[in-house]
């Protein structure tokens, strides 16, 4: 009369906190070229991150969400996706975006309060950064539906924070992905915090991955600071998606090493001790250790890399700072494909004012 | 009939004139466009196998298959957002909200994404989608099934809000809405879904958006309305004609962006305007129209602009819904009032 | 390096389709008085249901959602709750409402398009019928939070359909119930259909109960046509809630034996055969068989009960039909506690029109 | 300090006059009311331990405990709906939406339930709750952090929409909103959260809702505004005074239901009105105000009512947000224009 229905999620880890393999590594680890590229990319992203925070502090950039602690996940996402796949990001996916083809300058423009920061010359089909939490999950299933409708062999990777998993959009979307068997990989970046709200307040469940069960999807937990386990999980999930086997949910467990954004002061609500411990698990350092230990990286290379990254970032910053703002009329020019007659007057007024204020003849 | 046979028959029939109701015209427009543009897909609750609770999508699944005609799980936010994702991929989704009273859960997706994708990406991505919803009261329905909150969408930049008030306009405007490269909220006045039939040529010809439709020309007063209220407005115009009062009747049709020019030209001629809508008065679309006319036609106006509207309260359940709705006599009275000045 | 995290939900059944015990019955079954009361109530509700449909067909009532196939669940809910608990219903909980103290007349008023149908003389704290699907789930956690905040020993039962479990409100609410450890029992009435949408399209998961796992809650499946298993599960969950042990999700599996509402025609989208099979599992007949087999019910009693129920319903219908509609001004009188000055004119106009139209002196 | 000691200290301090900013006044009102009414609870994202991203709720958790000051999971629909459930139980929840740009997910709960519970149950249950949200642009924030969509709420029957524009009004109106037995959407103009300080007596005295506040009396033209734009409106009034133009400045404060009487009395005197708001113009609250005045004060008006507003487009990201916002010169120009007629 009583029957049990059983379910599970699995969790995986390959490297310990110091970069030492805990056992056999997955096949991806054999690709040294890729692993080195990943490490280089993480250092670039970290360099970009600290520079952008500095720009914000000196009034040259707007509120900015640091990617510190999330580099490994974004790098694995960016590397694993096919070019024709579509990324549906949240706002802390810098590492993935850059690998997809977004330029550092575009990234700066976006956080510098300029819409051109999402017009992306490359990766034209990737969705722009979604600020309203979790809303992008619905777009992800929409994009994946389009692939299915057209019979295309493409997949979607959708990123969302741990906080985002409490919001209907995420939960409704994984449900649709399950019901419609859609080619989507949901990557939950569980960095333990949603601004000041700890993971324990978001949800009473032991793991976030187990939310997949209610949608009939496989759920996997990976150490988000272990490049190999993240990569393996995403590649596996992408393979399933491409193979018509449907969606997955991956919970990548990490820690937000910075403030929520430059507008936040995390010391108000979290323990210095906790932060210190989290640094010990840092995934960038961990991968460096691994490469070092396996004889593929040394101090000179590191020094060179740091210098290269600084230069790349500096160049991008200069380009960014040199950009004139758009004319104010731009605020009407992309509202619709063609400006409706009802708005002609307003656009004219805007142009006139801009001309008057900037004291120029042309402008708009 | 198999799909390709159906296709042939259909081509023959193209341009055939049919005597249809408003809801049938909606169905006809959907079928035409799905037939002629493979990017068009429809989704919503109960729209596929059941053909929609009002039968607006009947027959589409049989004709175009479940890949293009999709019953969704029950989640309006999801429907709104999924359509956005599809649209960024170049599909032209037409998503149905079963009733306007259930559209609010989709508000965040509509306001923060559908309306903004083009602007946000500087044209890289855009949302050529249509959100359909039956709206308005007077059909003896339960709570939340009689909403007229078009003003909430009209205020959102980046959206078009289109409302047909006859079978011909339903057909032509829906085709235009689907072909439009930007998001359109398409609200269907369910009280007149089956009120009358009209001859509609099923020839794929769209009607222009962003323009008012002048249904009747006249000199003494301009009557401005949209949706189901057009019915009472035209009836009032008839009654007033009997009294020797000549009214110009304008169907706004696209309530945002607003074709102020047609309205102003008319008021320049008549000097008087009465606005009729079912939605509650406070902050309704009538307010924008009145404010715009009062500002731009200040010197033309011979009387204050009067609004005949629903009350500023929650639509009552059906035993009292008639007391809420504007009636022919209310419009007649308002016109008499402004004419007297 | 791989670890499994395991979860389960259980399912329970005590009576077979014909009312034969499949083994030992739960303790609740020993209470014959209660079981008989349950059966009588189900018959009353079924009588009420068919009468109301008839009223609708003759224009004396509005669109109405038949309760056919849901009587067992509602009855178990209504019987199990303490008076001081709060019911947060959806729109097919007739059986529970009447046990809570709503009168048949009030029920008729509601579906007859009259707001007084939710003003309920008894069960003053129960929430009114929620028409927007699943929205009531958020209210349920709000009510339960109020109990927790005030330290009261009370619980909430929240009902929702299978369709409703796809909507963010349900999913967000069970998550909060888990995170905050709230005294709520979510009863999912899985009648296999959401209007024309079959359960298989709502969700790719094997069961709906497993959605509880993602919220960190226990999930139970019961045969929704088996009075004993439904009762046991709800009582158990209510005990946990009262005992400070938090929330539960119960999936009660049944079948919608009628059309979705009187506005629907289910033959358009579902199989006659499927419906016929579902009737064989009917929970009312099943309980009658059980009582009959165990010697506690006979044909005479049944005849008497049918007559009593018809009379009770007829009386309620007469009362309902005799009710004058509210004056139109009522539409303003309950909008706010006190009518704001801004609305005085409109109320006066309404009253005047009503007076004029009804040709009476007073009225409003 | 333990709770009861704190209580004593607090009582002593009651009535103490403090020099505070608008956001501090919000905090003060919340603290006062929580101290004096145990039914008041606050909930929202990051409002407890962190004290709110704008520090509006700072110190409340320490003082009143986590049972009454609740950090919620990240879900605005849930926040809106949970507050409704609490309110039906007689609590007086004050729920924060972190930014107005994130309130839309809560729309269904707000429109279909908070605004309707009393009416639906004929007074059996009601929703004495407050939805707080910082709103408006000009703070260099990312997308969705600069919304001014108060018109969407003003159109919903059953809601009150209240907007303070000074520390004193923030204190008095928020107390009134919490004590009000019906749902109030309380929008806080974050651009002036810390713009000025004012002396506020922390004595628990509420200010009346449903009424405009006349901030400055004058004869030539009525300037009507609310929220952060009051700042520019007052500055414009000063400039105009230098030119010899006497303006009456009215802070609408409760934008719905609207105190039309105060507005009409003023226009009866001045014969001219300019309405200033940050929200986009089409279907903004300015439309309702203009339409109402133009209708009721038709004969008093010596010039068209002009609206100085944001453009009918999406609020630009911050590099261009100043080009979107109405400025002092825009108001001055508009006044000069209507005065010239
Ligand atoms: C719908 C919505 N509500 C609130 C916010 C404000 N907000 C920005 S980030 C954030 C926390 C998100 O946490 P999480 O999803 O865990 O992502 P993380 O920032 O930790 O990477 C909040 C509440 C928002 N952007 N969108
Ligand atoms: C938010 C919302 N969307 C759509 C509807 C229209 N509608 C009414 S009932 C229903 C199906 C509900 O199915 P389920 O939750 O399984 O409950 P059941 O009717 O089967 O008992 C729908 C779509 C609604 N009432 N609310
Ligand atoms: Mg996080
Ligand atoms: Mg169902």
In a shared domain, residues B100 and B121: yes
Does residue A4 belong to any structural domain of this protein?
no
The 8-class DSSP code of residue B122 comes to T
Q: Do A169 and C171 touch (CB under 8 A)?
A: no
pLDDT digits 0-9 by tens, A66-118: 999 999 999 999 999 999 999 999 999 999 999 999 999 999 999 999 999 99
pLDDT band per the 50, 70, 90 thresholds, residue B153 = very high
Copy the structure tokens of residue A340. Answer: 């409706």
Residues 6+ apart with CB under 8 A from B193: B21, B22, B23, B54, B134
In a shared domain, residues D176 and D261: no
Does residue A5 belong to any structural domain of this protein?
no
Q: By the 8 A CB rule, do C136 and C127 touch?
A: yes
Q: Name the residue of D71, D76, D102 to mutate for ligand 1: max ligand atoms within 8 A of Cβ.
A: D102
Copy the structure tokens of residue D167. Answer: 């520390």
Q: Tell me which ligand sits closest to the C-alpha of residue C166.
A: 2
In a shared domain, residues C305 and C334: no
- Average pLDDT over chain D reads 96
List, for chain C, all residue ranges whose pLDDT scores fall below the cut of 70: 359-364
Alpha-carbon Rg of chain D, whole angstroms?
Answer: 20
Task: Supply the pTM of this predicted model.
Answer: 0.97
In a shared domain, residues C291 and C351: no
In a shared domain, residues A176 and A146: yes
Q: Is the pLDDT of residue B5 over 70?
A: no
Does residue B2 belong to any structural domain of this protein?
no
- Among residues B134, B169, B202, which one ends one of the domains? B202
- Among residues B176, B202, B228, which one ends one of the domains? B202
Does residue B302 belong to any structural domain of this protein?
yes
> Out of C260, C286, C290, C320, which one is annotated catalytic?
C260
- Average pLDDT over chain A reads 97
In a shared domain, residues D198 and D218: no
Q: Is the pLDDT of residue B14 over 70?
A: no
pLDDT digits 0-9 by tens, D210-250: 999 999 999 999 999 999 999 999 999 999 999 999 999 99
In a shared domain, residues A339 and A226: no
CA–CA min distance A24, chain B (Å) = 40
pLDDT digits 0-9 by tens, B82-139: 999 999 999 999 999 999 999 999 999 999 999 999 999 999 999 999 999 999 999 9
CA–CA min distance B182, chain A (Å) = 6
Give yes or no for a cis peptide into D99 (omega within 30° of 0).
no
Q: A90 C-alpha to center of ligand 1: Å?
A: 9
In a shared domain, residues A105 and A87: yes
- Closest C-alpha among A47, A85, A81 to residue A66: A47
Going through B113-264 in order, the beta strands assigned E by DSSP cover: 130-135, 160-162, 184-189, 198-201, 213-216, 221-225, 247-251, 254-256
In a shared domain, residues A250 and A355: no
Give percent above pLDDT 90 in chain B. Answer: 95
Predicted local distance difference test score (pLDDT) of residue D4: 52
pLDDT digits 0-9 by tens, A9-60: 999 999 999 999 999 999 999 999 999 999 999 999 999 999 999 999 999 9
Q: Is the pLDDT of residue D93 over 80?
A: yes
Q: By the 8 A CB rule, do A45 and A95 touch?
A: yes
State the total domains in chain D.
2
pLDDT band per the 50, 70, 90 thresholds, residue B10 = low
pLDDT band per the 50, 70, 90 thresholds, residue B6 = low
Predicted local distance difference test score (pLDDT) of residue C156: 98
Does residue A97 belong to any structural domain of this protein?
yes
B107 φ/ψ angles, rounded to the nearest 5 degrees: -60, -45
Q: Do B287 and D287 touch (CB under 8 A)?
A: yes
Residue entry with tokens 């009762």 = C231
Give percent above pLDDT 90 in chain D. Answer: 95
pLDDT digits 0-9 by tens, D274-304: 999 999 999 999 999 999 999 999 999 999 9
> Out of C18, C57, C269, C357, which one is annotated catalytic?
C269
Residue nearest to atom 26 of ligand 2 (CA): C132
Domain coverage including residue C72? 10-322
With contact defined as 3+ CB pairs under 8 Å, the chains touching C are A, B, D
Q: Is the pLDDT of residue D333 over 70?
A: yes
Predicted local distance difference test score (pLDDT) of residue C363: 37
CATH number, domain at B244? 3.40.50.920
C36 φ/ψ angles, rounded to the nearest 5 degrees: -65, -40
Q: Is the pLDDT of residue A364 over 80?
A: no
The 8-class DSSP code of residue B255 comes to E
Predicted local distance difference test score (pLDDT) of residue C364: 36
A256 is catalytic: yes
Q: Is the pLDDT of residue B337 over 50?
A: yes
As a whole number, mean pLDDT of residues A154-177 equals 98
- Among residues B202, B229, B251, which one ends one of the domains? B202
pLDDT digits 0-9 by tens, A306-329: 999 999 999 999 999 999 999 999
Among positive and negative, which fits the CA dihedral D100, D104, D108, D112? positive
- Closest C-alpha among C194, C164, C198 to residue C271: C198
Instruction: Given the cut 0.95, state whether the ipTM is greater than it.
Output: yes
Predicted local distance difference test score (pLDDT) of residue A1: 79
Q: What gap in Å lies between CA B159 and CA B169, rounded to an integer?
A: 19
Does residue C227 belong to any structural domain of this protein?
yes
Q: Do A342 and D75 touch (CB under 8 A)?
A: no
**At CA D84, angle to CA D82 and CA D90, rounded to 5?**
110
pLDDT digits 0-9 by tens, D136-145: 999 999 999 9
In a shared domain, residues C201 and C134: yes
Give me the residue from D108, D119, D296 closest to B105, CB to CB.
Answer: D108
Q: C193 C-alpha to center of ligand 4: Å?
A: 4
As a whole number, mean pLDDT of residues D1-25 equals 72
Q: Which residues of C touch D (CB under 8 A)?
A: 86, 88, 115-116, 118-120, 124-125, 127-128, 130, 132, 135, 137-149, 168-169, 172-173, 175-176, 179, 330-331, 334-337, 340-343
The 8-class DSSP code of residue D110 comes to I
pLDDT band per the 50, 70, 90 thresholds, residue A357 = confident
Q: Is the pLDDT of residue B250 over 90?
A: yes
Q: Is the pLDDT of residue A361 over 50?
A: no
In a shared domain, residues D251 and D163: no
Q: Do A216 and C203 touch (CB under 8 A)?
A: yes
In a shared domain, residues A274 and A355: no
Residues 6+ apart with CB under 8 A from A191: A69, A70, A161, A162, A224, A254, A255, A256
Calculate the alpha carbon distances from B178 to B32, B48, B111, C297 in Å: 11, 19, 19, 63
In a shared domain, residues B232 and B181: no
In a shared domain, residues A194 and A336: no
Calculate the alpha carbon distances from A123 to A126, A128, A189 in Å: 6, 10, 22
pLDDT band per the 50, 70, 90 thresholds, residue D341 = confident
CA–CA min distance B38, chain A (Å) = 10
Does residue D6 belong to any structural domain of this protein?
no
Q: D81 C-alpha to center of ligand 4: Å?
A: 22
Q: Which residue of C has its CA nearest to A182?
A: C204
Contacts of A3 in chain C (CB under 8 A): 10-12
In a shared domain, residues A211 and A246: yes
Q: What gap in Å lies between CA B125 and CA B118, rounded to an integer?
A: 5
CATH number, domain at A201? 3.40.50.970
C27 φ/ψ angles, rounded to the nearest 5 degrees: -55, -35
Does residue C3 belong to any structural domain of this protein?
no
Does residue D131 belong to any structural domain of this protein?
yes
Give me the residue from D81, D109, D119 closest to C335, CB to CB.
Answer: D119
Give yes or no for a cis peptide into A37 (omega within 30° of 0).
no
Give percent above pLDDT 90 in chain A. Answer: 96
In a shared domain, residues B197 and B328: no
In a shared domain, residues D49 and D181: yes
Q: What gap in Å lies between CA B67 and CA B59, rounded to an integer?
A: 14
Does residue C5 belong to any structural domain of this protein?
no
pLDDT band per the 50, 70, 90 thresholds, residue B4 = low
pLDDT band per the 50, 70, 90 thresholds, residue B1 = very low
A90 is catalytic: no
pLDDT digits 0-9 by tens, A213-257: 999 999 999 999 999 999 999 999 999 999 999 999 999 999 999
State the total domains in chain C.
2
Residue C1 CB less than 6 A away from ligand 2: no
Give me the residue from B72, B91, B181 closest to A149, CB to CB.
Answer: B91
Q: Which residue of A has its CA nearest to B261?
A: A342
Predicted local distance difference test score (pLDDT) of residue B3: 57
Does residue D9 belong to any structural domain of this protein?
no
Q: Tell me which ligand sits closest to the C-alpha of residue D71.
A: 1
Domain coverage including residue B314? 213-339
Does residue B75 belong to any structural domain of this protein?
yes
In a shared domain, residues D142 and D41: yes
In a shared domain, residues B162 and B263: no
Copy the structure tokens of residue A104. Answer: 């550092």
Does residue C1 belong to any structural domain of this protein?
no
In a shared domain, residues A138 and A267: yes
**At CA A360, angle to CA A358 and CA A362, rounded to 5?**
115
In a shared domain, residues A290 and A345: no
Q: By the 8 A CB rule, do D66 and D72 touch?
A: no
Predicted local distance difference test score (pLDDT) of residue B7: 58
């Amino acid at each position: 009369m009583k029957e049990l229905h059983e379910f599970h999620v699995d969790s995986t880890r390959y490297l310990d906190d110091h970069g030492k393999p805990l056992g056999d590594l997955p096949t991806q680890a054999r690709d040294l070229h890729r692993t080195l590229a990943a490490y280089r990319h993480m250092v670039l992203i970290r360099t970009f991150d600290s520079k952008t925070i500095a720009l914000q502090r000196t009034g040259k950039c707007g509120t900015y969400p640091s990617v510190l602690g999330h580099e490994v996940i974004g790098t694995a996402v960016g590397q694993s996706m096919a070019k024709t796949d579509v990324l549906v990001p949240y706002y802390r996916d810098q590492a993935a975006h850059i690998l997809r083809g977004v330029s550092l300058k575009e990234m700066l423009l976006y956080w510098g309060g300029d819409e051109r920061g999402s017009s992306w010359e490359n990766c034209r089909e990737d969705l722009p950064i979604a600020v309203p939490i979790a809303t992008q999950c619905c777009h992800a299933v929409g994009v994946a539906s389009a692939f299915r409708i057209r019979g295309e062999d493409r997949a979607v990777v959708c990123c969302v924070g741990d906080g985002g998993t409490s919001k209907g959009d995420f939960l409704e979307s994984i449900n649709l992905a399950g019901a419609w068997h859609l080619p989507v990989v949901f990557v939950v970046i569980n960095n333990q915090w949603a601004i000041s709200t700890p993971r324990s307040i978001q949800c009473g469940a032991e793991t976030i991955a187990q939310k997949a069960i209610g949608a009939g999807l496989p759920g996997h937990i990976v150490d988000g600071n272990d490049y190999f386990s993240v990569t393996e999980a995403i590649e596996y999930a992408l393979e399933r998606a491409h193979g018509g086997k449907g969606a997955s949910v991956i919970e990548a467990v990490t820690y937000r090493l910075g403030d929520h954004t430059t507008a936040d002061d995390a010391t108000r609500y979290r323990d210095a001790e906790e932060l210190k411990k989290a640094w010990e698990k840092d995934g960038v350092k961990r991968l460096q250790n691994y490469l070092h230990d396996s004889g593929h990286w040394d101090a000179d290379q590191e020094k060179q890399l740091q210098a290269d990254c600084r230069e790349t970032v500096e160049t991008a910053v200069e380009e960014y700072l040199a950009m004139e703002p758009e004319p104010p009329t731009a605020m009407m020019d992309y509202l619709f494909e063609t400006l409706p007659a009802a708005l002609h007057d307003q656009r004219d007024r805007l142009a006139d004012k801009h001309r008057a204020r900037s004291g120029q003849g042309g402008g708009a | 009939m198999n799909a390709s046979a159906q296709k042939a028959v259909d081509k023959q029939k193209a341009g055939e004139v049919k005597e249809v109701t408003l809801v049938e015209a909606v169905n006809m427009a959907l079928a035409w466009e799905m037939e002629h543009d493979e990017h068009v897909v429809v989704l919503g609750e109960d729209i596929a196998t059941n053909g929609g609770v009002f039968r607006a999508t009947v027959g589409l699944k049989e004709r175009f298959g479940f890949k293009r005609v999709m019953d969704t799980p029950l989640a309006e936010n999801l429907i709104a957002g999924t359509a956005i994702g599809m649209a960024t991929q170049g599909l032209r989704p037409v998503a149905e909200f079963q009733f306007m009273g259930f559209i609010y859960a989709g508000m965040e997706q509509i306001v923060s994404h559908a309306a903004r994708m083009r602007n946000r990406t500087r044209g890289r991505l855009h949302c050529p989608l249509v959100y359909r919803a039956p709206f308005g009261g007077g059909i003896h329905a339960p709570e939340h099934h009689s909403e007229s909150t078009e003003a909430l969408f009209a205020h959102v930049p980046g959206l078009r809000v289109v409302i047909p008030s006859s079978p011909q306009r339903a057909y032509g405007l829906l085709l235009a809405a689907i072909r439009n490269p930007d998001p359109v909220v398409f609200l269907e006045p369910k009280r007149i879904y089956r009120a009358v039939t009209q001859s509609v040529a099923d020839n794929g010809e769209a009607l222009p958006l962003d323009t008012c439709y002048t249904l009747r020309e006249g000199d003494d007063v301009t009557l401005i309305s949209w949706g189901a209220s057009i019915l009472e407005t035209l009836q009032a115009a008839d009654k007033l004609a009997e009294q020797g009062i000549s009214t110009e009747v304008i169907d706004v049709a696209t309530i945002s962006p607003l074709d102020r020019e047609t309205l102003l030209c008319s008021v320049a001629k008549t000097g008087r305007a009465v606005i009729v809508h079912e939605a509650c008065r406070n902050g309704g679309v009538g307010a924008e129209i009145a404010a715009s006319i009062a500002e731009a036609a200040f010197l033309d106006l011979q009387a204050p602009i009067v609004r005949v509207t629903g009350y500023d309260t929650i639509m009552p359940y059906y035993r009292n819904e008639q007391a809420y709705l504007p009636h022919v006599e209310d419009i007649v009275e308002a016109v008499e009032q402004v004419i007297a000045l």
